[in-house]
Amino acid sequence: MNLLVDRLFRHMAWANNFLFDQLAALSPEQLKMTAPNDEWSAAEILEHLTGSRYADLLDGKGYIPTEVPTTSTEVLALKELSAGFDARLRAAAQEVDGFVEFQRDGRTIRRSRQTILAQAIHHATEHRAQIAGIYSSHGLKIVDLDEIDLWAFANYEGLGD
């Protein structure tokens, strides 16, 4: 087991869980907020973050369709799906070598497992920041990215800085 890779996937799951908890406390109107000049709402980005196919590409256990949440109950249901996907990604990260082939738009795509694993972490980080930015653009500090960085995760795990 690569301890660094495992830690990064544990952090991703923890940070995603934090994000879901923050958004579950919001009103339906706040879930619909977008950044200026952008069409995607925070809820749509949250669904997109969860609905990526990375876990299925790596473990082949099946893709579970997701829907954009409109209420806190739906955010919490999506949180459970996200936690399951994150656990699958962490397990899949135990095997970093090799390639995956899949179909997209009638074409066969071939990707390194390492690329998919790295993209899964990057994708989640990017969209957590995007959601934080949406609320910031409305003068709201709903998601404080410093509360979910790797330093905060080390403190959460009791490892200190």
Residue 161 lies in a domain: no
Instruction: Quote the number of domains for the chain.
Output: 1
Residue 94 lies in a domain: yes
Stated pTM of the model: 0.93
pLDDT band at 92; cut points 50, 70, 90:
very high
- Distance CA(118)–CA(5), nearest Å, equals 9
Q: Which domain holds residue 132?
A: 3-156
Q: Can you give the CATH number for the domain in which 147 is found?
A: 1.20.120.450
Share of the chain above pLDDT 70, in %: 98
pLDDT tens digits, one per residue of 111-146: 999 999 999 999 999 999 999 999 999 999 999 999
The sign of the CA dihedral 49, 53, 55, 61 is positive
Q: Residues 129, 16: contact at Cβ < 8 Å?
A: no
